[in-house]
Amino acid sequence: MQDEPEDDSRSRVVLTRSLPDGPSRRLARYVVAQVWREPDPPPDAWLRESCVGAAGLLATPADRVGEDLLLACPTLRVVSNLAVGTDNVDVSALTRRGVPLGNTPGVLTAATADLAFALVLAASRRLVEARDAVLDGSWRTWDPGFMLGLELSGATIGILGAGRIGTAVARRALAFDMHVLAWSRSGRPLEGTGVERVEMVGMDRLLRESDVVSVHVALDASTVHLVGAEQLASMKPTAVLVNTARGPVVDQRALLDALVSGRIAAAGLDVVEHEPIDPGDPLVHLPNCIVLPHIGSATVATRAAMAELAVDNLLAGVAGERLPSCVNPEVYGD
């Protein structure tokens, strides 16, 4: 069921998910919120109809915000995405129409880096396979050759993408005594203290030399299938691939082949090409692949902080003020 907008002189905004109590109450002081409360994302038709006449939209990575929506809803003064990634939004269409787009960088860095490192550990030490062995009775005795995995201490991790989350993962890897290589399109070194020992390298070398490759690039036209069959083939057969960025950055069919053929050892994925993945998808059933349901930022504290920032962006946009976190500052003539 969705909330019916009240007859009110305040501006109306549309939310495709309900928010925690704090940011929700703050929002209600300034605007009337029409909220989609069903478990599945709202259908395009609901989104379009609700946004007609609305001043703002708060969307999530599960919603597609395209030019068609903007054309149908010219009153929208702001789109606030409850995520740092904005690949679900046609950013150029918003910019062309002067509509600012907000996102939630920074507040989710630690939670997402933690989850990435949890996958590094789980895939390297075969945690899910080992638990399955307990459940199915194939654990018979202590055996020196049973469930051997990759030792992280002294191993090399390659970080693809040197932004906030990649840098936070590098810090965690250094604390585990790993060698850290990193690649970014710009080639600029990682920023901040504690990452001086990270070596910036070309992508070929990173793939060739890393025992673990962790993906942290944003999704755009240039990063679709950045890791494909050729890149997987250049990795070590003992290597582990982790993706907590966006599914389409890795060619999922090529990854399935590489995992089945033993071309690489294991993968840990928090994101897949089409979410939610079909539970019958062979990738989900491979013993050497862990698939999680896009929970990188899913801690109570982080989701609350994301909601606060998304509400800040939404309210600023509705009021015609500059968004605290704006993806397309060109709309302000910058």
Residue 310 in contact with residue 102, Cβ under 8 Å? Answer: yes
Judged by beta carbon, residue 181 or residue 245, the one nearer ligand DGY is: 245
CB of 168 to ligand DGY, least distance (A): 14
Buried b (16+ CB within 10 A) or exposed e, 11-21: bbbbbbbebee
What is the residue type of 159?
Answer: I
3-class secondary structure, 56: strand
**How far does CA 115 lie from the centroid of its chain?**
11
Judged by beta carbon, residue 150 or residue 306, the one nearer ligand DGY is: 306
Torsion over CA: 239, 106, 293, 49 (sign): negative
Residue 245 in contact with residue 99, Cβ under 8 Å? Answer: no
Distance, first Cα to last Cα, the chain:
41
What is the residue type of 83?
Answer: A
Please report whether residue 54 would count as binding ligand DGY according to CB under 6 A. no
Judged by CB under 6 A, the residue of 70, 108, 315, 327 near ligand DGY is 108
Judged by CB under 6 A, the residue of 5, 23, 56, 61 near ligand DGY is 61
Judged by beta carbon, residue 264 or residue 326, the one nearer ligand DGY is: 326
Catalytic residues: 246, 275, 294
- Count of helices and strands (H, E) across the chain: 12, 12
C-alpha to C-alpha distance for 208 and 152, rounded to whole angstroms: 17
CB-CB neighbours of 199 under 10 Å: 14
CB-CB neighbours of 274 under 10 Å: 10
Judged by beta carbon, residue 70 or residue 306, the one nearer ligand DGY is: 306
Judged by beta carbon, residue 236 or residue 303, the one nearer ligand DGY is: 303
C-alpha to C-alpha distance for 58 and 33, rounded to whole angstroms: 10
Strand 12-15, strand 56-59: pairing: parallel
Which residues ranging from 244 to 303 are in contact with ligand DGY (CB under 6 A)? 296-297
CB of 244 to ligand DGY, least distance (A): 8
Which residues ranging from 67 to 86 are in contact with ligand DGY (CB under 6 A)? 83-85
Q: Is 293 exposed, middle or buried (0-12, 13-18, 19+ CB in 10 A)?
A: exposed
Judged by beta carbon, residue 82 or residue 254, the one nearer ligand DGY is: 82
Report the interface residues with ligand DGY, using CB under 6 A.
61, 83-85, 108, 296-297
